[in-house]
Structure 1
Amino acid sequence: MDKNKTRLIAQVGVAVALATVLQYVKIMQLPQGGSVSLQSVPIIVMALLYGPKVGMLVGGIFGLVEVLLDSYVIHPIQFLLDYPVPFMVLGLAGLWANKKVLSIGFAYCLRYLAHILSGVVFFGEYAPAGTNVWLYSIMYNGSYLIPEAVLTAIVSIWLWRQLQKRGFSELAQ
């Protein structure tokens, strides 16, 4: 195995480990699940540095690790919609290298959509009586994902710029 592949494998492992630790540093926690944290920053930064394939790999591995450590699974489809899929799609933040805010926003919209679908199909019973389940899922998931997306975008772009200043882009090639 060449030196660059070994370096990339190590960086993927470090990114997954960082995301795992950051998921426990909660800025805000909602009563029925969902929280604001910076867990997605390592996934986004790897996507910005290496592109969507590596970003999706990091996100997918993190989603599986999260299931092992802290999950609530009631159905195989809900498992997919709440764990590997939302974090894999965050890797798509590496799609448009020159439009980082747009890329991160797009990736978070896809994550939001996965959680909305899971909420409608599997957690609609928690909606207050008379409340549309779609509206409830949009509001509930948006209450933590929108602030997290904004914080993650700010921190990820800042961190990416710091890495660029220190010559990290040459290592990522």
Structure 2
Amino acid sequence: GGSVSAAVMVPLFWFSMRYGLRAGLEIGVIYGLVHMALGGCVINPVQAMLDYPLAYAALGLSGLFRKYLIVGVGVVGRFLCHFISGIVFFAIYAPEGMNPALYSAIYNGSYLIIEFIISSIIIYILARKSLLRLV
């Protein structure tokens, strides 16, 4: 399942903002495939695509807003991939009587919100200290 990582999204955001949308999408797919190969939970090929290469590629969407340091669009994209996967493939884990969409939103949102906050703070600090050169 999902968990808060030590700002794993920061390098992907930086790369996307530095090199643009296409490069960000590509590096996200590569990261997702490596993450999946090193111990990802795969129960179905479609679920694997949603939770790994597509979810991490979505972080590359932050390359669309590289001049404004907006990383939220990438996190929303990643959330949507995990959310859909949760509804379709992990609904059986929802407590009895709980709507699978609500369960997926709570489960995936709980760790992605924290990761988003941590990553946003780090990106902001790096930019303020001129350690994050974008263009």
TM-score (norm 1): 0.72
Provide the residue aligned with 2:16 in structure 1: 47
* Runs ≥4 residues deviating over 3 A: none
Q: Any stretches of 5+ residues in structure 2 without a counterpart?
A: none
Q: What displacement does 1:156 show?
A: 2.2
1:91–1:107 contact (8 Å) kept in structure 2: yes
Give the share of equivalent positions with the same residue, in percent: 44
Q: Any stretches of 5+ residues in structure 1 without a counterpart?
A: 1-32
Provide the residue aligned with 1:89 in structure 2: 58
2:17–2:67 contact (8 Å) kept in structure 1: no
* Alpha-carbon displacement from aligned partner over 1:127-158 (angstroms, at most 9, x marks no partner): 00000000000001001011101111111232
Provide the residue aligned with 1:30 in structure 2: none
2:111 aligned with 1:147: no
Provide the residue aligned with 2:46 in structure 1: 77
Q: What displacement does 1:97 show?
A: 2.6
In the alignment, the residues of structure 2 paired with residue 158 and residue 80 of structure 1 have an alpha-carbon distance, to the nearest angstrom, of 33
In the alignment, the residues of structure 1 paired with residue 67 and residue 100 of structure 2 have an alpha-carbon distance, to the nearest angstrom, of 37
Provide the residue aligned with 2:73 in structure 1: 106
Match of 2:90 among 112, 117, 123: 123
2:4 aligned with 1:36: yes
Q: What displacement does 1:160 show?
A: 4.1
SS state of the match for residue 36, structure 2?
helix
- CA RMSD, Structure 1 to Structure 2 (Å): 1.4
Rg (Cα) greater in structure: 1
